Amino acid sequence: MTNSSTARFAATERVFVGGTWERAHGEPYDVLSPATGEPVARVLLPSAEDADESLARARAAFDDGRWSRLPASRRADLVEAFGAAFARRRREIDRAWVQESGPTAAHAAALNDAVELMWRDQVAHARALVTREVRDLPDGRVRVLREPVGVAVVVTTWNGPALYFAMKVVPALLAGCTVVVKTAVESQLTSRLIAECAGEAGLPAGVLSILAAPTGVSERLVADPRVDKVSLTGSVAAGRQVMAACAPHLTGLTLELGGKSPAIVVGDIAVDKVLPSFVPGFIAYQGQICAALTRLIVPKRRRGEFVEAVVGALSEMRVGDPGDPASDLGPLSSLRQYERVREYIAIGIAEGATPVLGGQTEDPRPGHYVSPTVFVDVEPHMRIAQEEIFGPVLCVLTYGDDEGEDLADAIALANGTRYGLAASVYADDEDVAADVAARLDSGTVSINTAGVSLFAPFGGTRQSGFGRENGAEGIAEFLRVKSVKLS
């Protein structure tokens, strides 16, 4: 499958550094289609040298005030223009993401529709933000100021390249930070298109750099003393490495590190009240979403009916070319993800879990296709029940016995991993559901639905990370508070 996006970038050697396109200093890199395994573009990667130049320009642009001291309303105007350029280029950006990372065209369109709304929502929050106020306090008058923290490094992954701009980059820019974005090395096409949008918006020189680079560039960026704030979306292992790199300079840090999100079914709620949201909550983008509901916790007495219903719904889904409108699911994003998921399926079988759907580790088609897999006979200690697989693998766990169930057991199962990012509770009694939600150690919980709000504060607990994104809280992550005592 080819389109104008890949043709335009078939031999690019440029990287977006501080608002200008420079020749990259890294190695050649082939962008491979996850649907076929064939190259769709060749680029030159950004290098540590490009990272250093990006930081130098960001530091200068912040320190001389061309962005940090620009009136907040003017910053909002420019970020709004950036969003308008993104909206104009949507078809290209959607197609590019389908090609480089394999979401279905429908998924790409739906998520990037939301990105446009999030972008506008963030601008609205910025326009309403109070950056200075005077407080009459018991010991006198104090002016409280909210100021940008400085140079921000944003590190993102491939499963929502535009989404992470709306969640991280837009709030940082609106706060007055200059930003260096290290996108995933797999996100070459989308990164370049979004960079073109930034160029069209007319951001001042040095304010924004976008580097679709290997992890070595991330390591260079986050350890640099010129950086004041790091925001990362990635794995727990990546989070630990970034924390260690930030520690010597006490660099501010926001981490979103994934999850092993549970869905708890309570009592006798009808299956048809659960499946319409649970199934997409599990399988959207082949399960390659941090908040995917990959653990279904059901009363033991109801396991059979839920397994039958979930297997039936998943069996009807077509796995195929992500550019084909008839495909419900596409391939996994890369060979690395494909091999990871296959390994976890093998681990689950070796641990004694039973695949009642899928479980096959080979697919005769070219590309990185893995069919949805559902495991039963899963014990809570098993690796497939504890570790984030990031693929279409569901674990069904049970609580209670044939006579009834104790919700404390279900809550213990739900809280029984190192993660705490998202969860769902399904129950006919909303008071019971609310009580269960309150007892879950999770940054966000949905009741009788799935997914997270992209306009409310989002983030995790425990090893899912810390800090919050989206809403006014997302901008606050890039602000610091100063008190000025008045005479």
Both tokens of residue 161?
């390249």
Instruction: Evaluate whether residue 458 is within a structural domain.
Output: no
pLDDT in tens, 166-187: 999 999 999 999 999 999 999 9
Which residue carries 């992890």 as its tokens?
A: 215
Q: What is the mean pLDDT of the chain?
A: 95
Give me the percent of the chain exceeding a pLDDT of 90.
94
In terms of domains, do 369 and 479 share one? no
Residue 365 pLDDT exceeds 90? no
Q: Do 308 and 425 belong to one domain?
A: yes
Tens of pLDDT, residue by residue over 72-96, are: 999 999 999 999 999 999 999 999 9
CATH of the domain at 199: 3.40.605.10
- pLDDT band (50, 70, 90) for residue 3: very low
Give the type of residue at 174: L
Q: 299 and 172 share a domain? A: no
Please tell me whether residues 11 and 132 are part of one structural domain: yes
Residues 388 and 444 in one domain: yes
For residue range 387-408, list pLDDT tens digits in order.
999 999 999 999 998 776 789 9
Annotated active-site residue in 256, 405, 469, 477: 256
* Same domain as 303, residue 208: no
Supply angle C-alpha 465, 469, 472, rounded to 5: 145
- pLDDT tens per residue across span 285-295: 999 999 999 99
Q: 447 and 473 share a domain?
A: no
Q: Token digits for 28?
A: 């050649």
Whether residue 241 is found in the same domain as residue 376: no
Furthest-apart CA atoms within the chain: distance in Å: 77
* DSSP secondary structure, 128-159, as one string: H---EEEEEETTEEEEEEEEE-SEEEEE--TT
Residues 251 and 351 in one domain: no
Q: CA 446, CA 427: separation in Å to the nearest integer?
A: 11
Assigned domain for 144 exists: yes
Is 343 tagged catalytic? no
Tell whether the model's pLDDT for residue 6 goes beyond 60: no
Q: Which domain holds residue 420?
A: 261-452
Please list, residue by residue across 242-252, b when 16 or more beta carbons sit within 10 angstroms of its beta carbon and e when fewer do: beebbeeeebb
DSSP 302: G
Q: Does residue 317 contact residue 307 with C-beta atoms inside 8 Å?
A: no
Residues 73 and 222 occupy one common structural domain: yes
Domain count, the chain: 2
DSSP assigned state of 458: B
What pLDDT does residue 361 have? Answer: 66
Query: Same domain, yes or no, for 65 and 92?
Result: yes
Question: Coil, strand or helix: which one is 298?
Answer: strand
**Does residue 129 form part of some domain?**
yes
Sheet holding 132-137, edge to edge: 132-137, 140-148, 479-485
Report if residue 229 sits inside a domain.
yes
**Residue predicted with more confidence, 475 or 401:** 475
Mean pLDDT of 210-216: 96
Q: Where are the alpha helices (DSSP H) in 401-450?
A: 407-414, 430-439
Which positions ≥6 away from 227 have C-beta within 8 Å? 55, 150, 151, 152, 153, 221, 249, 251
Query: Under 8 Å CB-to-CB from 308, ≥6 apart: which residues?
Result: none
Q: What is the mean pLDDT of residues 47-53?
A: 97
Joined together, the tokens standing for residue 64 give: 């001389």
One domain for residues 247 and 288? no
Q: Is residue 459 part of a domain?
A: no
